[in-house]
Amino acid sequence: MNEPARSFEAKPATRADEPLLIGMVGPPGGGKTFSSLRLSVGMQAVRGGDIVVIDTEGGRARKYSDQFKFMHVDFQPPHRPDTFLDAIRSQLSRKPAVIIVDSMSDEHEGQGGYLEWHDEMVPRSGNNEWAAWAKPKAARKRLINGLLHIRVPLIFTFRAREKTQQRKKDNGRTEIVNIGWMPVAPLEIVHSLDLTCILPPRADGVPVWKSTQIGEDFIIKLPAFLKPLIDDGALNENTGRALAQWALGQTSPRSTEAEKARVEPEAAATPPCDQEAAASVARETAEQYCARWRAIIDAATNAAQLHKSWGSDKAARNRINWPDDDTFDKLKADVTKAIEFLKRDAPAGGAIPK
C-alpha cells in the first residue's frame, strides 16, 4: 500500500516554545538540586505553572520544601530509561513551569537502570552479552528521542566522579592524568542537552563553564546563543527567567543588552588600522582551539606516540610508496566506519570493527 505524498513546506525560522534541556553535573555538595530550584523559580515567573521535581533518590529533594514551593514525585525503582520518559510525560498535563529530574544518573546505574537491566537480560539471551543490550539500548533511544520533543523546560542533575586516564609520554613512560569530574551517565544523553555545567564540591551554585581538564571541557556545553543569558556568579532566578524568555521566543532586556555589549563595541573599536592586531587575536584563538582538541584526541588515542612514529625516518621512507587512489579510498572508508562506530555504537571498552 502506497503512503500518501507528504508535503514539506519551508517557513522563516523563528523561536517559539523551544525545548530547553539543562544538565547539572557534580558530586554531592556542589549545589545541583538547589541551583535547579533557583533556576526553576525564575522560569516559573515567565511561564506560570508548578515546579515539578521527579525524585529518584528516596525523597531527598523534599529537604528543600521549606525554601521552595514545588510538586514532588517519588520515583521508585526500577529506574529503566523508558520509565523516566513515562514519569516526565505524566506531568505534562498539569502544564508545569519546569520539570526537574533528580537524579538522571539512576537511569544509568540506579536500581533496575540501564546496567542492571542488561545484567538481567544476559541469562534470558542465552548468556549472550551483546544480545542482552538490545532492549536497554532501544529503551534509551526512545528516551532521548522523546526528551527532544518535550516543550516544557527540563533540568537534569547528574552525579559525578573524578576520573583519571593513563597516558604514555614521548619517552614511553606512563603517567596518570586527572581529567576532572565526569557525569555518571552516557555521553549520548549528556550531549543531547542544550546547556551543561559542572558544579564541583563546595561550589555554592557557581558553575564551571570552562575547564583546563580535558574531560570536563568535553562535557561542558554553553552555546554562543545562550552565553548572553548566563551570569558569572551563581545560577539564580534571573538566569532562569532569561532562559525561559529565550525558549519562548521572547527578547529579554538582559539578552539584548548583553548581546549589544558583546558585538557592537568590538566592531566599533576595531578601526581599519588595527586589522593586523585583530587578525593576530583570531590566530591565537584558533591555536588555542586546536590545542584543546589535540589534547582531547591525544588522551583518547595516545596520539603523541602516533605523531612520533609518523615523524620517524622509517615512516618517511614508507610514505614514498603511498597507496594508489583505490587503496586510499578503501582506507578512508574503513577509518570513517570506525569513527562512526565509536561515536554511535561502541560500548565501554569495545573494540573497533575490522
Q: Where are the domains of the chain?
A: 21-257, 274-344
Q: Which stretches in the chain have pLDDT values below 70? A: 1, 252-336, 338-354
Peptide bond into 103 cis (omega under 30): yes
Q: Read off the pTM.
A: 0.71
Predicted confidence at residue 10, as pLDDT, reads 94
> Residue 296 to residues 171, 284, 285, 300: CA-CA distances in angstroms?
20, 19, 17, 6
Query: pLDDT value at position 17?
Result: 85
Helix axes 237-247, 253-268, angle to 10 degrees: 80
So what's the pLDDT on residue 166? 84
Residue-level pLDDT at 350: 52
| C-alpha–C-alpha distance, residues 337 and 344, integer Å | 11
Hey, is 181 helix, strand or coil? strand
Q: What is the pLDDT of residue 177?
A: 86
